Amino acid sequence: MADASVFTRFRRRLHPGVAPVLVGAVGLAGATLLHFVDPNEPGHYPTCPWLMITGTFCPGCGTTRGLYALTHLDILGALQMNVLLVAMAPYLAYSYLKWLYRSFRPAPPRATPRKAVDPRWLYLLVAVIMGFWVVRNLPFASFLAPG
């Protein structure tokens, strides 16, 4: 348990904005790499393990190629790769910016603490992802398959 207390003390000494800034820097570095190294050429990125094992598409299949298309401002190309990625991108950007803002401008303390997210939204998110996973592998929804 001594390690946990050392980690906790170290984390408490850091500014609350360190985590979102690091996540943003890693995301920017990844997007930069993705912009210059084409995932459509074989051998640059690993193949989806779910696709290799089962032969079906997971909800994330096509995300790398979709992000590559987005870094080149090709929204239609990104939609062809993964519709869910493009649909969730505005929400992810909003959530990240909200996290970043609140890290530097924390809200005043309240008498009753609020939950970060209403659990019903998380259940809805899981249901949407699972539904997308099933539907994109059905024959009539082949337009949802990547590329």
Structure confidence by residue, pLDDT tens digits, 30-69: 999 999 999 999 888 988 899 999 999 999 999 999 999 9
Q: What percent of the chain has pLDDT over 90?
A: 59
Residue 112 binned pLDDT confidence (cut-offs 50, 70, 90): low
Residue 70 binned pLDDT confidence (cut-offs 50, 70, 90): very high
Per-residue pLDDT at 2 exceeds 60: no
Task: Pick 111 or 137 by higher pLDDT.
Answer: 137
Mean pLDDT over 59-88 rounds to 94
Q: How many other CB atoms are there within 10 angstroms of residue 144's CB atom? A: 19
Per-residue pLDDT at 77 exceeds 90: yes
What average pLDDT is seen over the chain?
A: 88
Q: What is the pTM of this model?
A: 0.81
Q: Copy the structure tokens of residue 80.
A: 């062809």
Q: Quick one: residue 48, left, alpha or beta (phi over 0 = left, psi -120 to 50 = alpha)?
A: beta
- 31-42: b (≥16 Cβ within 10 Å) or e: eeebeeeebeee
Mean pLDDT over 134-140 rounds to 93
Residue 111 binned pLDDT confidence (cut-offs 50, 70, 90): low
- pLDDT at site 132: 93
Parse the chain into domains and list their residue ranges.
Answer: 18-107+115-144
Residues shown for the chain:
147
Mean pLDDT over 71-75 rounds to 95
